Amino acid sequence: MKPVETTATPLVELRHVSKVYGAGESEVRALDGTELVIEHGEFVAIVGASGSGKSTCLNVLGCLDAPTSGNYLFQGVDVHSLTRDQRALLRRHYFGFVFQGFNLLARTSAIENVELPLVYRHVGLSERRLLALQALEEVGLGARAHHTPAELSGGQQQRVAIARAIVTNPLLLLADEPTGNLDSARKRDTMQLLIDLNRRRGITIVVVTHEADIADYARRIVRFHDGVIESDTLTGQGEQTGEGAA
């Protein structure tokens, strides 16, 4: 199940992927023959109206949902050929997830929240504490390591969530409406942080958003409409914005 270790192979490839819910008159084609390739190190925004298929696409990419037909290849490995346990290991070792609602444990400190993925990987206490602190420092929250979510602002909570997502050094970071619960200033801060991580660490980032101004931070925008990719464009905005953040 080990992915092919070569940048010549696309990180992500969807080949004629469809996802169908229901049957007959109630059938909904959330994805309809999607073809998508994402290379190592890209920063991609997936956009579209509610029900366009963007979140379904993200769920397929994150192995949170399986396509009805077609193939999903991750570094050349056909994900459909993996067992459920192997797909879980794929998520654990190669993916990071950031969600709109932060999904932090309320009574647990920031550093303990960030440690969670390392607990699942059976990393020892001293090592995971060090790695979690390093991740928090990378997102600018080293001084808040022992604060609970209730003691942090919304923007700070999202930074803790991002630290948790990168603490395992994933190849692919998937962010589902990561700025949806933030004000304008914190939205900018969050997107600048993602740009910085993409540039410095080389983490491939895919952001799902319905907000045009958030999509503009990406270098590439993939637009869905009724389960079909309507457009796929390079913007150059991610590089320009990233330069301004340096």
Is 219 among the domain residues?
A: yes
Query: pLDDT over 70 for what percent of the chain?
Result: 93
Is 148 among the domain residues?
A: yes
Which string of DSSP letters, residue by residue, matches 17-36?
A: EEEEES-GGG-EEEEEEEEE
CA distances from 118 to 96, 107, 123 (A): 12, 19, 5
Is 198 among the domain residues?
A: yes
Question: What are the pLDDT digits (tens) for 220-241?
Answer: 999 999 999 999 999 865 444 4
Q: How confident is the model at residue 56 (pLDDT cuts 50, 70, 90)?
A: very high
The pLDDT value recorded for residue 246 is 32
Please tell me whether residue 99 adopts helix, strand or coil conformation: strand
Q: How confident is the model at residue 95 (pLDDT cuts 50, 70, 90)?
A: very high
CA distances from 95 to 30, 35, 117, 119, 120 (A): 23, 21, 11, 15, 13
The pLDDT value recorded for residue 242 is 40
Q: How confident is the model at residue 126 (pLDDT cuts 50, 70, 90)?
A: very high
Q: How confident is the model at residue 68 (pLDDT cuts 50, 70, 90)?
A: very high
Is 6 among the domain residues?
A: no
Q: How confident is the model at residue 24 (pLDDT cuts 50, 70, 90)?
A: confident
Q: Which residues pair with 36 in a beta bridge?
A: 14
Q: What's the whole-number average pLDDT of the chain? A: 91
Question: What's the gap between Cα 231 and its chain centre?
Answer: 21
Sign of the dihedral defined by the CA atoms of residues 55, 12, 138, 112, in that order? positive
Q: How confident is the model at residue 182 (pLDDT cuts 50, 70, 90)?
A: very high
Distance CA 57, CA 227 (A): 9
Is 3 among the domain residues?
A: no
Is 2 among the domain residues?
A: no
Question: What's the gap between Cα 216 and its chain centre?
Answer: 17
197 vs 246, higher pLDDT = 197
Distance CA 212, CA 47 (A): 8
The pLDDT value recorded for residue 7 is 53
Distance CA 175, CA 177 (A): 6
Number of domains in the chain: 1
Is 232 among the domain residues?
A: yes
The pLDDT value recorded for residue 145 is 97
Is 61 among the domain residues?
A: yes
The pLDDT value recorded for residue 113 is 97
Distance CA 93, CA 72 (A): 17
Q: Report whether pLDDT(243) > 60.
A: no
Distance CA 244, CA 246 (A): 6
- Residue with token string 């709109």: 100
Tell me the CATH number at 71. Answer: 3.40.50.300
Q: Note down the domain range covering 57.
A: 12-245
